[in-house]
Amino acid sequence: MAEARQIAIDVRDAVKRYGDFTALKRISLSIHDNEFFTLLGPSGCGKTTLLRMIAGFEDVTEGGIFLYGKEIEDLPPNRRPVNTVFQNYALFPHMTVLENVMFPLEMLGKGREARARAGEMLELVQLSQFANRKPNQLSGGQQQRVALARALAPQPKVLLLDEPLSALDLKLRKAMQIELKHIQRETGITFIFVTHDQEEALTMSDRIAVMSAGELQQLGTPGEIYEYPRNMFVADFIGETNLLEVSVDAFAEGRAVCHLGGGHEMKVDAVEGIGVGSKVHLSVRPERLFLTDEKIDPDALHATVLENVFVGTNIMTIVDLDDGPNFTIRAANSDRGNARVFPEGSPVFVNGDRGAARLLVD
Amino acid sequence: MAGGAATGASVTTDTYAEARTWLLLPAWAVLGFFVLAPVGMMLVYSFLTKEFRGGVIWEFSLAAYDQFFFDRGLFGDEAPKIEWTYINIFWRSIWQAGLATVMSLLIGFPTAYFIATRPEKVRPIWVFLITIPYWVNLLIRTVSMKFLLRDNGPLNEFLMSVGVVSEPIHIINTNFAVQLGLFYSYLPFMVLPVYASVERYNFTLSEAAADLYASKWTTLRRVLLPTVKPGVIAGCILVFVPSLGSFLAPDLLGGAKNFMIGSLIEEQFKGSAGNWPFGAAAAMILLSMVLVILMVFARQQAKSGKEAG
């Protein structure tokens, strides 16, 4: 991130209103050239609206959108060098796979090279043998790949993907995630990917913009967003977490001593904007906690096991801090390390790494 | 046990088979009484000899068909020449019905598109509005049309009052008046099937086309029209076929010069001047023409479908 990268899409103070309803509340963000950028959020958060504004299907109520420094607001969709992969694929049903992929090339007046280029694209998505089929003769995953080939064929400056994997089953979705990432690397095209699936976003993205209720909640790399969620929404939406309301009792060595209730205390890296007596939220990732039957760490919390839940790769243990809140702890289902299953009702100590807990400012 | 079960099953199958026969009876009755019997009667009558006060003599004759295609002079003793009168009427009918169909498509398609793109709640209201005029009898509507279009009717008065024309334009008793009448008579038969297919159209396809650099016109031509083609074809058939055999609009709006095949047939069965076998023969020729046109159409459809598939 040190070197200055060219900005592909620059969204400046973009507002979108439908009558009285504000779908986007003044959003600004810059998407770098050659980046896999994800707009992540629950349905209705405005992520698809923003994507459609970039594509040109929705106009911008206020603010502007710039493509490599050039304002594109007044350009209709067919004049913008960006292409979209639609959620329901939107393949032309009366055309063959090859004709679908050739379509944008013909529209651009590249009819002569269309066939060869479309063939290359189908090769890229490994569908050459289906060139003469109709879309309805293909499976969902294959249709998805045709849509991708069609959108990539005219070599757009930016590719927009509107929840393209949501209709696929889990296995296929995982495979397509990796394939999409490969294709992005191979073509070097900037991808803007919309999804409500946080795991998908973490897996694929260079950077993620987390959105909620028409506002940008946090922008950062998957690591930043997961490890340092800025607020309750992001902490809760990304991954699993134990969210607690705590009060700050004191500060010691740059760490805040938080009172969890029932006399339990936890030391957490301090953040700006809190003082003694502040009521703040604390996010504790379940996989960063572990249980022991003896108190090795002086800061370990005493608790009782309530329930063990087996989830295949992991074992989730729910414990009750004596007179305090409950915690969920996730341990890898493995014989290595200190993962151990404690029977229900047994007394345990809850330990955490230094970065296990984060204070949330707002 | 096994034998008993088998018997039970076969009884059930028999009962179903019997029920099916009875349940299909209305369908067969309708087909028989309203399709096969009338067409069969027409076919038989077209090969009979005419009685001078209407009706037929039960004697086989090819005279009706002969009269349609050949001219053997006033007394029927000359060498046969091709009789152009009826062929011309026929040709004019196809031409008029075709133009009415094109007009219906040009006006009906945008109308259907407009309705299909309204919010879902108000679409039924628009469809309802389209069909309201058709609650009035066709004859009344055609007569009203005549009053609207005549030289000193409201249309001409309006055009003159706003100064578009200085003297009334002569519409009534022209081919155009007939086309207009047919267009007005059968417009809903175009709008409704087209509406039904445009409503099912996935408008994301238009967005995709625009996204892939197609202009609005290209999107219409290369994406929307091919996708809704079945509805357009159904609409064209539903307008063309009844227009071809129509006699109200040509009679009332076209006058004697703009005679169509429907009027010709109608006249053969009116009063004592009629010629039943000739009317039946003309009707049979019309029916075969329509069938041939539809079959050619269907074959072309199948072919283009196969090519694309």
Per cent of chain A over pLDDT 70 is: 97
- Whether B226 sits inside 8 A of A78 (CB atoms) is no
Which one-letter DSSP state was computed for residue A36? E
Please count the residue pairs, one from chain A and one from chain B, whose beta carbons lie less than 8 angstroms apart: 64
- Whether B211 sits inside 8 A of A78 (CB atoms) is yes
CATH code: domain of residue A295:
2.40.50.140
For residues A324 and A213, which has the higher predicted lDDT (pLDDT)?
A213
- A94, pLDDT greater than 90: yes
Q: Are residues A244 and A210 in the same domain?
A: no
- B152, pLDDT greater than 90: no
Which candidate from A55, A90, A154 shows the least CB-CB separation from B205?
A: A90
Q: Are residues A13 and A114 in the same domain?
A: yes
- Whether A76 sits inside 8 A of B210 (CB atoms) is yes
Which candidate from B204, B218, B308 shows the least CB-CB separation from A94?
A: B308
Q: Are residues A274 and A167 in the same domain?
A: no
Q: Are residues A230 and A245 in the same domain?
A: no
Which candidate from A56, A57, A107 shows the least CB-CB separation from B212?
A: A107
Evaluate whether residue A11 is within a structural domain.
yes
Which one-letter DSSP state was computed for residue A215? E
C-alpha B241 chain-centroid distance = 2
Q: Are residues A198 and A327 in the same domain?
A: no
Domain boundary among A221, A236, A251: A236
> What is the torsional sign of CA A18, A22, A23, A25?
positive
Contacts of B207 in chain A (CB under 8 A): 57, 77, 84, 86, 90
Q: Are residues A194 and A323 in the same domain?
A: no
CATH code: domain of residue A155:
3.40.50.300
- Whether A92 sits inside 8 A of B209 (CB atoms) is yes
C-alpha A114 chain-centroid distance = 35
Q: Are residues A323 and A202 in the same domain?
A: no
3-state SS record for A281-346: EEEECHHHEEEECCCCCCCCEEEEEEEEEECCCEEEEEEEECCCCEEEEEEECCCCCCCCCCCCCC
For residue A180, give the amino acid letter.
Answer: L
Evaluate whether residue A127 is within a structural domain.
yes
Angle at A305 between CA A300 and CA A307, to 5 degrees: 140
C-alpha A30 chain-centroid distance = 16
Q: B298 CB near a chain A CB, below 8 Å?
A: no
Domain boundary among A236, A267, A290: A236
Q: What pLDDT does residue B308 have?
A: 47
Average pLDDT (B149-157) is 88
**Distance in angstroms between the alpha carbons of the first and the last residue of chain B:** 52
Q: Are residues A11 and A145 in the same domain?
A: yes
Q: Are residues A252 and A310 in the same domain?
A: yes
Evaluate whether residue A46 is within a structural domain.
yes
Evaluate whether residue A120 is within a structural domain.
yes
Evaluate whether residue A2 is within a structural domain.
no
Asked whether the beta carbons of A189 and A203 are under 8 A apart, the reply is no
Specify the number of domains making up chain A.
2
Evaluate whether residue A253 is within a structural domain.
yes
Tokens of A182: 């490969």
Contacts of B224 in chain A (CB under 8 A): none
Residue with tokens 């009702």: A345
Write the pLDDT tens digit of every residue in A109-160: 988 889 999 999 999 999 999 999 999 999 988 999 999 999 999 999 999 9
Rounded to whole angstroms, the Cα distance separating A331 from A311 reads 10
Q: Which domains are assigned to chain B?
A: 2-71 (no CATH), 83-268 (1.10.3720.10)
ipTM surpassing 0.95: no
Write the pLDDT tens digit of every residue in B198-250: 999 999 999 999 999 999 999 999 999 999 998 999 999 999 999 998 988 88
Q: B241 CB near a chain A CB, below 8 Å?
A: no
Q: Are residues A173 and A214 in the same domain?
A: yes
Evaluate whether residue A144 is within a structural domain.
yes
Range in A94-98, A313-317, B98-102 with the lowest mean pLDDT = A313-317
Q: Within chain B, how many helices (H) and strands (E) appear?
A: 14, 4
Rounded to whole angstroms, the Cα distance separating B83 from B72 reads 9
Write the pLDDT tens digit of every residue in B276-305: 999 999 999 999 988 998 888 888 777 766
Q: What Å distances lie between residue B204 and A57, A85, A91, B69, CA to CA?
A: 11, 11, 9, 54
Contacts of B222 in chain A (CB under 8 A): 103
For residues A295 and B180, which has the higher predicted lDDT (pLDDT)?
B180
Q: B208 CB near a chain A CB, below 8 Å?
A: yes
Q: Are residues A160 and A262 in the same domain?
A: no
Evaluate whether residue A1 is within a structural domain.
no
Domain boundary among A172, A203, A236: A236
Q: What pLDDT does residue B305 have?
A: 60
Range of the domain at A351: 240-360
**Tally of CB atoms within 10 A around B296:** 10
Asked whether the beta carbons of A33 and A6 are under 8 A apart, the reply is yes
Q: B87 CB near a chain A CB, below 8 Å?
A: no
Q: Are residues A332 and A353 in the same domain?
A: yes
Interface test with A, best of B197, B211, B220, B307 (most A CBs within 10 A): B211
